[in-house]
Amino acid sequence: MHIIVCLKQVPNTTQVRINPETNTLVRDGVESVMNPFDENALEMALQLKEKHPGTRVTALTMGPMQAADMLKEAVGRGADEVVLLCDRAFAGSDTWATSYALSTAIRRLEPADLVLFGKQAIDGDTAQVGPGVADWLGIPCITYAQGIEVAGETAVVERAFEDGYEKLEVTLPCALTVLKEANVPRMASLRGKMAAKKLAIEPMTAEASGADPAKLGLAASPTRVMKIFSPPPKTGGVKWEGEEPVVVARRLVDMLRERNVI
Amino acid sequence: MGLKINREACIGCGVCVSTCPFGALALDEAEKAVVNEACTACGACVDACPTNALVLEVAEKTAPDLEVDAWRGVWVFAEQRAGKLQDVAFELLGEGRVLADRLGVELCAVLLGEKVKDLAPALFEHGADKVYLVDHPALAHYTAEPYAEAMTALIRRYKPEILLAGATSMGRGFIAKVAIQVGTGLTADCTGLDIDPEKRLLLQTRPAFGGNIMACIICPDHRPQMATVRPKVFKQPEPEPGRTGELIVEALDVPPAKVRVLEMVNTMQNEVNVAGAEIIVTGGRGMGGAENFKLLRELADALGGAAVGASRAAVDAGWISSFHQVGQTGKTVRPKVYIACGVSGQIQHLVGMNSSDTIIAINKDPDAPIFNVADVGIVGDLFQIIPEIIRSLKS
């Protein structure tokens, strides 16, 4: 089985802060990490590899050269091969152009039985690239996957819904977007780290991917960012401090009853 | 095309580097700004540059062949599950009505499923002028491919200028495929929609970077302009009993599903779902452990059947399942009362609950950011205060 896992390097958005004086984003000291949901996609691939001997896992990303660090991390955890799709021609791609570019790189690789994605990336939060790539490739896509069993040409996948889950059966090849619930991502092994150290990553250019230049980057992206702004700073209401618990509890319950909400 | 840097004008101050939300700018050896592949041409640096050294070159029209004027009308995907219309369908009809009126066009609902014709009247009563219905066995249970095929076929035939869908498990799952198939843009998780009446553009505002910044997105040269909106972002309109419209039944040749549904399991049967709850009691890192969520359940019961929510920290710690998670990577909620207990109030959490009618926060740390959005902030030990609230509610 050949599994391609699409990864994205993202700023750790939980570390991003707003400077209260200028109301702008403070990025200083914010590290770049593998998108947390993509870690679960990679882990799903690695667990399938352990279960099904002969399986190979390819980690694919589109991004700046700096994203090679993340691919090395993927090798450290057990990915067999990596592809870094990197070219100024991809700059400014929205989800339409990104999913097209990734699909062209995937077509260059050995045919995949599974193409895995994280549920969404924590910087853009669109959750659109996985289904988009699947559509460019013409394969079915199951979103919000929390578990998978593969038997021969068939996979049984658990897809989460708002209030439960469904068991779905699909004939491979297929794309999945993976939830955090699917597994607990492993750390890189010592042996893996050694392998990653030796790895020299040559980027795949837009030309090498065979992509139609007219479908790449900002010019080909249907959506445009018109403006970026900081949400207005919020100020709270009343604060009750330094009073006996029983006093504030009564006052709160009285207030809720007065407002007729309980 | 994209961001251009005038190296002569650049004074190497680095303001653009720290302003860029995407980390796309750096200073090179000559202390001049350089841009990398992460640039999205958002323009934040252009506004920040003190010497006007940064210029955004406006993109060429990307779809000169498309007659955008031939596309008219606002469409809403009327999500139904097991024959029941989801609240988000009504919320989108309410907002869609406003947009359609501003553009002076019809508001249409798209209903996909099997034996779901009876749902059409409710859509008319909530503001739809027309309902497009595709009734087909392949659509009986949702799977992405046949839903995307049906929607794409309708769009090609009737050419709407705007299409809205709920950012639900279903909506997010298939609408991205529709966008690829019809070759147009799609903006995820919008929290605000408006119209530029002159250019007939949908102005789509959404949080990015976990809610740290807001972006306004447009889709100038492609149609339809497509957006997903999270449940509870817009309010449901009051239905107008007896209001009717035109039902258009489309006979489409929908290919059989590539994905087969084997089993459906409802895991929320015995619990109140935060998604539709009127009162939510949420626990965060300050709960200290799974066993302490019992206290929140007691409070929820004392409040007459409130839902129990959780912050990402509590879910990640394994104290409670992610079905309860509120926030950017969880659910967006809009209850009448939201009680945050031991929740610090990271921006990722706030974007999921800050439109609640009344927000109450209990936290030991007087500087916790949750107090900035709370109508009532109680500084103190939740393990002392919550039992008193329960006692007070029962008396």
User: What CATH number should be reported for the domain holding residue B359?
Assistant: 3.40.50.1220
Average pLDDT over residues B172-187: 95
What are A226-256's pLDDT values in tens digits?
A: 888 877 766 678 999 989 999 999 999 999 9
Name the minimum distance, in Å, from the CA of B245 to any CA of chain A. 31
Cβ-defined contact of A64 to B263 (cutoff 8 Å)? no
B30 is written with which tokens? 């000559």
For range A132-138, the mean pLDDT: 96
Lowest mean pLDDT among A106-120, B35-49, B381-395: B35-49
Tell if the CB–CB gap between B203 and A135 is shorter than 8 Å.
Answer: no
Task: Please give the torsion angle defined by the CA atoms of residues B237, B239, B243 and B248, in that order, rounded to the nearest 10 degrees.
Answer: 70
- Inter-chain touch B264–A128, beta carbons under 8 Å: no
The per-residue pLDDT for B58 is 65
CATH number assigned to the domain with residue range A2-220, chosen from the 4 options 3.40.50.1110, 3.40.50.620, 3.40.50.12160, 3.40.50.880: 3.40.50.620
Q: Show residues of chain B in contact with A130, CB under 8 Å.
A: 176
Pairwise CB contact (< 8 Å): B378 & A161: no
B30 and B157, same domain (yes or no): no
In this structure, is the dihedral angle defined by the CA atoms of residues B116, B117, B119 and B124, taken in order, positive or negative? positive
Model confidence pLDDT, tens digit, residues A42-100? 999 999 999 999 999 999 999 989 999 999 999 999 999 999 999 989 988 999 999 99
Within a domain: residue B278?
Answer: yes
pLDDT of residue B266: 80
Among the partner-chain residues A135, A181, A261, the one whose CB lies closest to the CB of B177 is: A135
Same domain, B92 and B12: no
Cα distance from B279 to chain A (closest Cα, Å)?
Answer: 8
Closest in B176, B210, B331 to A122, CB measured: B210
- Could you list the beta-strand ranges (E) of B102-161: 107-113, 130-135
Q: Give the bridge partners for B329, in sequence order.
A: none
Are B118 and B212 within one domain? Answer: yes
Residue B51 in contact with partner chain A when CB distance is under 8 A: no
Considering the domain boundaries, does residue B256 fall inside one? no
Q: Is B110 found in the same domain as B26?
A: no
B200 or B41: whose pLDDT is higher? B200
- Predicted model pTM: 0.86
Q: pLDDT, tens digit, for every residue of A3-43?
A: 999 999 998 877 776 666 666 667 667 788 999 999 999 99
Residue B174 sits at the chain A interface (C-beta within 8 Å): yes
H or E element, residue B186: strand B186-190
Could you tell me if residue B369 is inside a domain? yes
State which amino acid sits at residue B258: K
Q: Which of A126-135, B85-94, B220-229, B231-240 has the lowest mean pLDDT?
A: B231-240
DSSP 3-state assignment of B156?
A: helix
Same domain, B7 and B90: no
> How far apart are alpha carbons B16 and B34 in whole angstroms?
10
Interface of B with A in 114-153 (CB under 8 A): 143-145, 148
The answer to whether the Cβ–Cβ distance between B393 and A166 falls below 8 Å is no
> Quick check: A219 and B42 CB within 8 A?
no
Q: Which of A18, A93, A166, A170 is the mutation pick for testing B, counting most B CBs within 10 A?
A: A166
**CB count in 10 Å sphere of residue B235:** 12
Tell me, yes or no, whether B75 and B51 share the same domain: no
8 A C-beta contact, residue A237 and residue B375 = yes
- Strand partners of residue B85: B80
Strands B201-208 and B213-218, sheet pairing: antiparallel
Minimum-distance CB partner of A140 among B35, B144, B329: B144
Chain A: give the shortest CA distance to residue B241, in Å: 27
Distance of alpha carbon B115 from alpha carbon B119, whole angstroms = 9
Mean pLDDT of all residues belonging to chain B: 91
Closest chain B C-alpha to A159 CA, distance in angstroms: 9
Q: At what angle do helices A129-137 and A95-108 cross, to 10 degrees?
A: 50
CATH number at residue B51: 3.30.70.20
**Is the residue at B63 inside a domain?**
no
**B254 domain residue, yes or no:** no
What CATH number corresponds to the domain at position B243? Answer: 3.40.50.620
Of A141, A218, A228, the CB nearest to B59: A218
Nearest Cβ partner for A24 among B19, B179, B222: B19
How far, in Å, CA of B149 to CA of B154, rounded?
Answer: 9
Mean pLDDT of chain A: 92
Interchain CB contact of B385 with A (< 8 Å) = yes
Question: Helices then strands (H, E): number in chain B?
Answer: 10, 22
pLDDT tens digit string along B67-95? 888 999 999 999 999 999 999 999 999 99
Note the pLDDT tens digit of each residue in A164-211.
Answer: 899 999 999 999 999 988 999 999 999 999 999 999 999 999 999 999
The alpha carbons of chain A give a radius of gyration, in whole angstroms, of 22
Residue B259 lies in a domain: no
State percent of chain B over pLDDT 70.
Answer: 97
Contact check, Cβ <8 Å, A144/B173: yes
User: Is residue B379 domain-shared with residue B339, that is, in the same domain?
Assistant: yes
Contact criterion met (CB < 8 Å) for A249 and B358: no
Same domain, B315 and B166: no
Q: Concatenate the DSSP letters of all residues of chain A into one string.
A: -EEEEEE-EEE-GGG-EEETTTTEEE-TTPPEEE-HHHHHHHHHHHHHHHHSTT-EEEEEEES-GGGHHHHHHHHHHT-SEEEEE--GGGTT--HHHHHHHHHHHHHHSSPPSEEEEES--TTT----HHHHHHHHHT--EEEEEEEEEEETTEEEEEEEETTEEEEEEEESSEEEEE-GGG--PPPPPHHHHHHHHH---PPBPHHHHT--GGGSHHHH-S-EEEEEEPPPPP---EEEES--HHHHHHHHHHHHHHTT--
User: Nearest Cα to B103, choosing from B68, B133, B132?
Assistant: B68
B378: in domain: yes
Chains A, B: CB pairs < 8 Å? 329
CB contact, 8 Å: B354 with chain A? yes
Q: Do the bridges between strand B279-283 and strand B337-341 make them parallel or antiparallel, or are there none, so unpaired? A: parallel
Q: Which residues of B touch A218 (CB under 8 A)?
A: 1-2, 40-41, 59
Residue-wise over B14-37: b if at least 16 C-beta within 10 A, else e?
Answer: ebbbbbbbbbbbeeeeeebbebbb
Complex ipTM tops 0.85: yes
Shared domain check, B242 and B188? yes
Do B220 and B186 have their domain in common?
yes
> pLDDT at residue B61 above 60?
no
A152: left (phi > 0), else alpha (psi -120 to 50), else beta?
A: left
B336 in the same domain as B385: yes
Phi/psi of residue A247, nearest 5 degrees: -70, -50
Using the predicted structure, report yes or no on whether residue B17 has a pLDDT greater than 60: yes
Could you tell me the two tokens for B356? 């609640």
Q: Which chain A residues are closer than 8 Å to B149 by Cβ?
A: none
Q: What pLDDT is stored for residue B223 in this prediction?
A: 96
Minimal Cα–Cα distance from B125 to chain A, Å? 26
The answer to whether residues A157 and A165 touch, using CB atoms and an 8 Å cutoff, is no
Note whether B180 contacts A: Cβ–Cβ < 8 A: yes
Greater model confidence, A80 or B355: A80
Q: Domain range holding B291?
A: 274-394
Question: Is the domain of B143 the same as that of B177?
Answer: yes
Tell me the one-letter amino acid at B16: C
What total number of domains does chain B contain? Answer: 3
- The two three-digit tokens of residue B242, written as one number: 């007896």
| Nearest-angstrom CA–CA distance, A254 and A251 | 5
- pLDDT over 60 at B60, yes or no: no
